[in-house]
Structure 1
Amino acid sequence: MAKNNKEKKMIKVVYFDEQSASDYIDIVNGGHLDWSTEKDKEKLAKIIAEIDAEIGGGFNFLSWVKASISGKTNSSYDHETKTAIGTKITNTLLTDYLVIANADKNIKKFTDVAYAPDNSISLYKMYSPYSIIVPKEEAPIDLEKLNEALESARGYYEMLLSSENSPKTVLRLNNRAFRNNYNLSDLTKMKLVYYGICVGVCDISKLDMSKEFDFSKKTPTAEEIVSGNDDISNSGLKVYDIVLAGVER
């Protein structure tokens, strides 16, 4: 068992949707963590000890919370402490998610290189930063306005798996969940482990930007896909919302 845990250790995090992970852990635990239990008291004590070791000065969590509420904290100390707390809580969340997700048969893992579908919004998003070099008079549409529209109206982007000669899986990623300045285009150069959950299905033609808003076909639910009761599960692509992606040892 120890060997398996070692093999599954995440050694490089590229993408982590913290809110989705937090919601998932809350659901599994039947609600928010209960800091009155011994297990969670130990977890909180460890976080506080690590913060104290980093910033020094005899850190007192409750005193800091009271000072923050009253607005009496030193600005530089306040920023440093908030950063340290945020980092430690994120690391704890990541560790908890890995432990629970690796034991949950409903969490699907993919190890692959991802790429954007042809003529998709995801493909455009990857190359949109370079659109500024295209003269406005030569562009078929206002590229600047399109970029603004994507930023305000589209938070998730679809990618396909390179190992599937005939695509049957869609990975959907939250554009705000990338870590360490990674982005969509970086996924095409790295073989990562993706943790995702099936949320539905789509026809591959719907990934084409020109057919993005064609709702003529009924979309089956995730429950229908998992149970195999839908009529197009064999021809459609299963869609997985990705919570975590990185390099595992």
Structure 2
Amino acid sequence: MLMANNTKSSKMMKVVYFDETAATDYITIQNGGQIDWTSTENKERLAKMIAEIDMQAKGGFNLFSFIKASVSGNANTNIDTNTSKLIKSTVTNTLLTDYISIASKDKNIRQFHNDGVYAPENSISMYRMYSSYLNIVPKEQIPIDLEGLNNALLGERGYYQMLLNSEKEISCVLRFNINAFKNDYSLADLSKMNLSYFGVKVGQCTKEQLSLEKEFEIKSSTNVKEIVIGETSRSSIKLLDVYDIVLAGVMSIE
């Protein structure tokens, strides 16, 4: 189910995927390139964050003392690690809340609700999802160097494309940052879920370009004959909108 924007109230119940870097960039841009911590609203937000950290740390937390001790190298290792985790968790939760609040009202952010995804046939995404299962097979029983093959095909690839279950005629491609999955979820888990997705359009591609073969195909230049007689008319090519997903999870729409 597709939604251009959401006018109803929504609440995230379970986070499966959250690209924090992309969300941070988005919020920073929406704030004019920087966050003004001198504003009353942001002062209240910062105070709330510190109060939450203090409560979880069971009192006695002082942000400025913690920063000073960390810089000077005098912070206790256990306190430093635990407090850092609390700070990261609190900041992430605040970032998530801010992102949903702003993105839900932004017509440039495309929302897809209560939908599942699947890997395009014979695609890099499909290979990524199933290659991990081959790790349980003893190496001597595999006639190829699986590790070498994975490095050759996957390399440093960060994004993987998926398609929506609800679309009988494909119009959208959803791309996921492999490093943005939360709570030990993976790319393969997405095919078993119905989630809400927040994404931003980054370009277009054809369905054929999603295949493994096309990933490594060098595009040949159009010759003069094709231009003159119009054999390569793009009007007959079906282009799919590509969205980089920033957030995915179980969401209640009220």
User: TM tier, shorter chain?
Assistant: 0.7 to 0.9
The Cα offsets for residues 143-167 of structure 1, whole Å up to 9 and x where unpaired, read as 2113334564211100001111122
Q: Is the 8 Å Cα contact of residues 200 and 240 (structure 1) preserved in structure 2?
A: yes
What TM-score, normalized to structure 1? 0.87
What TM-score, normalized to structure 2? 0.86
Q: Is the 8 Å Cα contact of residues 206 and 214 (structure 1) preserved in structure 2?
A: no
How many correspondences in the alignment? Answer: 233
Q: 1:72 & 1:133 partners in 2: Cα distance?
A: 45
2:74 alignment partner, one of 61, 72, 78: 72
The Cα offsets for residues 146-204 of structure 1, whole Å up to 9 and x where unpaired, read as 33345642111000011111222100000000000111111111110010011001111
> In structure 2, do the counterparts of structure 1 residues 61 and 133 end up closer, same or farther at CA, with 3 Å as the change threshold?
closer
How do 1:156-195 and structure 2 match up within 5 A? Answer: 156-195=159-198
Cα RMSD, aligned residues only: 2.0
Q: 1:177 & 1:109 partners in 2: Cα distance?
A: 18
Is the helix fraction higher in 1 or 2?
1
> In structure 2, do the counterparts of structure 1 residues 121 and 129 end up closer, same or farther at CA, with 3 Å as the change threshold?
same
- 1:243 is aligned to 246
Alpha-carbon deviation of 1:33? 1.3
How do 1:1-249 and structure 2 match up within 5 A? Answer: 4-5=8-9, 8-111=10-113, 112-134=115-137, 136=139, 139=142, 141-149=144-152, 152-216=155-219, 231=234, 235-249=238-252
Q: 1:106 & 1:207 partners in 2: Cα distance?
A: 24
Residue aligned with 1:193, SS: strand
Q: Is the 8 Å Cα contact of residues 201 and 233 (structure 1) preserved in structure 2?
A: no
The farther-off stretch of 127-136 and 18-27 is 127-136
AA matched with 1:96: D
What stretches of structure 1 move > 6 A for 4+ residues in a row?
none
Residue aligned with 2:8, SS: helix
Q: Indicate the percent of aligned positions where both proteins have the same amino acid.
A: 55
Residue aligned with 2:199, SS: strand
- 2:227 is aligned to none
Task: Identify unmatched segments of 5+ residues in structure 1.
Answer: 219-230
Task: Identify unmatched segments of 5+ residues in structure 2.
Answer: 1-6, 222-233
